[in-house]
Amino acid sequence: MKKEHTFPCKKCGAKLKFSPTDGKLKCQHCGELSDIQKSFKNLIELDYYETLAKLKNYSHNPKEIQNTKCNSCAATFKIDDNIHSSICPYCGSSIVKKTELYKPIKPQALLPFKLSQRDARDVFKKWLKNLWFAPNKLKEYGANIESFTAVYIPYWTYDSQTASSYTGRRGDYYYVTERVTVQREGRTVVENREVRRTRWSYTSGNLNRSFNDVLIEASNLLKHKLSNWDLPNLVDYDEAYLSGFDSEIYSIELDDGFSSAKKIMESEIRNNVRRQIGGDEQQIISLDSQYDNITYKHILLPIYASAFKYNNKVYSYAINARSGEINGERPYSVIKITLTVLAVLATISAIYYFGK
């Protein structure tokens, strides 16, 4: 059985964990800081089809990855196959598993945690405070939230050159004057009215586009999508950044991820085609796109995830541990909504009554 990576302090031998505040490994016992060696390599875009060909010959023996052994206390225990890094349940040491034993594609880069647990709590409390129509008691839950799951989520990024051909119709508005019969103060009168019409013309064309870093989550863990990732600040993958955090191994395969990326690209291509067709309205009759020079990267991005229970229902949320963006579920106050609706109806009634 291959040993997994742990990170002992060189000064006292205690556990080192990555500190978002310091940007270094920090000893949980004596506070000693240890730098992470940065290689500053340029990230290489990997060839998509070349990797797919190699994956056809990939196989692994499940018996080799059933158990994990801690270097610090020699305990042997089970970590779920989809978890890349975790904590030893016996001595608390950070454990980073060998990714290649579980999946053939290793992470190339990551964004380190930037927000601390305290920062995440502040983000959550502010989010609760600004929720419209939230129950008053909800703020108490924010004050009681103490811990979050800090986890690296696997992602794919895809680049591609696309060449699209399309046919469609362009609609241009014009107006005609028509004579219409209407009722005015109990009398029937004939009036002129400007009526909008649409003149349609057939069109076709070609569109070339380049896509860079189309981001696709490679895990089904997150229920709530996050954005605002500062991908230009990616650093080369180093297991030291994972020390003290959970990390998922990708469960969405490379080709399935690209299928999702194609949907995003196609949506943007359609928007570009509509702009190219021009006019006031556009109809796309046919669209054929070719995807060439496809490359990808496998990266890890940091999030805080947690949940709270309110009125016997669980509400989950996730926080971008770089930007502080938060996305999640929330309860609504039926009383507040009802009172607001009644107030709006009363205002409308008053305006109607006094306006007569």
What tens digit of pLDDT does each residue of 122-139 get?
888 887 777 665 656 655
Mean pLDDT of the chain: 80
Token pair of 296 as six digits: 């990808």
Q: Is the pLDDT of residue 163 over 60?
A: yes
Q: Is the pLDDT of residue 78 over 60?
A: no
Distance CA(287)–CA(265), nearest Å, equals 13
Three-state secondary structure call for residue 335: helix
What is the domain range of residue 91? 1-36+59-103
Which residue did the predictor score with more confidence, 103 or 339?
103
Angle, CA 154 vertex, CA 47 and CA 269 arms, to 5°: 55
- Quick one: pLDDT at residue 148? 76
- Quick one: pLDDT at residue 187? 86
pLDDT tens-digit readout, 282-326:
999 999 999 999 999 999 999 998 876 667 777 778 899 999 998
Helices 254-277 and 48-55 pack at an angle, to 10 degrees, of 150
| Inside any domain, residue 176 | no
**In sequence order, what are the residues at sequence separation of 6 or more whose Cβ sits closer than 8 angstroms to the Cβ of residue 54?**
104
Distance CA(132)–CA(124), nearest Å, equals 15
31 HSE (CA, 13 A, CB side): 1
Tell me how far apart the terminal alpha carbons of the chain are, to the nearest angstrom.
Answer: 86
Token pair of 309 as six digits: 């229970």
Same domain, 12 and 124: no
Same domain, 2 and 31: yes
pLDDT tens-digit readout, 241-257:
988 888 888 889 999 99
Domain count, the chain: 2
| Inside any domain, residue 1 | yes
Same domain, 161 and 272: yes
Single-letter amino acid, residue 261: A
| Inside any domain, residue 47 | no
Same domain, 10 and 139: no
| Inside any domain, residue 267 | yes
| Inside any domain, residue 117 | yes
Token pair of 122 as six digits: 């502040």
| Inside any domain, residue 292 | yes
- Quick one: pLDDT at residue 316? 79
Same domain, 82 and 152: no
pLDDT tens-digit readout, 178-221:
888 888 888 888 888 888 999 999 999 999 999 999 999 998 87
Q: Is the pLDDT of residue 344 over 80?
A: no
Token pair of 119 as six digits: 């920062």
Same domain, 280 and 131: yes
| Inside any domain, residue 231 | yes
Same domain, 3 and 113: no
- Mean pLDDT in residue range 110-133: 83
Distance CA(21)–CA(5), nearest Å, equals 23
pTM for the model: 0.78
Same domain, 89 and 111: no
Angle, CA 102 vertex, CA 97 and CA 103 arms, to 5°: 115
Same domain, 141 and 227: yes
Same domain, 28 and 151: no
Distance CA(14)–CA(223), nearest Å, equals 36
| Inside any domain, residue 189 | no
Same domain, 118 and 256: yes
Partnered with residue 281 across adjacent β-strands are: 171
- Quick one: pLDDT at residue 65? 47
Same domain, 78 and 126: no
DSSP string, 260-304: HHHHHHHHHHHHHHHHHH-SSEEEEEEEEEEEEEEEEEEEEEEEE
